Structure 1
Amino acid sequence: MDKFSLYVQDFYAWTQQQAKALEEKLVLEVDWQHLQEEIQALGRQEYRELVIRY
């Protein structure tokens, strides 16, 4: 299963695979496009929470 298929079919498994690739510095195994999108989405979500709470 390629990185994109795993991202679509099993998001949790994709996150674990990406964390391992980052930890082991396996640059070619990182799904850079989706990882960037997910980090940006996480940042937006955290920002919205801060705005709502304060």
Structure 2
Amino acid sequence: MPSWLILVLVGVVLVVLGVATSIGQFLIWIGVALLVVSLILGLVGRGRSRV
């Protein structure tokens, strides 16, 4: 499983937990940051594999 996909899954889990718990704001920001980083890694990895 690619690392960016793992980061996407972890980010989604953190966002869902953030919505469902009282410390939600912190977890939502961490989840969103992980989603953004994983999307960037996915795009960079795809660009590298095409070359």
- Please report the TM-score for the alignment, with normalisation by the length of structure 2: 0.52
Q: Could you say which structure has the greater relative contact order, defined with CA pairs below 8 angstroms and 6 or more residues apart?
A: 2
Aligned pair 1:42/2:47, yes or no? no
**Cα displacement (A) at 1:29:** 4.8
What's 2:16 paired with? 22
Aligned residues with identical type, % of pairs: 0
Q: Which has the larger radius of gyration?
A: 1
Distance 1:20 1:36 in 2: 8
- Provide the alpha-carbon RMSD of the alignment: 2.9
- Please report the TM-score for the alignment, with normalisation by the length of structure 1: 0.49
Unaligned runs of 5+ residues in structure 2 are 1-9
Tell me which stretches of 4 or more aligned residues in structure 1 moved more than 6 Å: none
Unaligned runs of 5+ residues in structure 1 are 1-14
**By percentage of residues, which structure has more helix?**
2
Aligned residues: 37
Distance verdict in 2 for CA 1:27–1:50, change over 3 Å: same
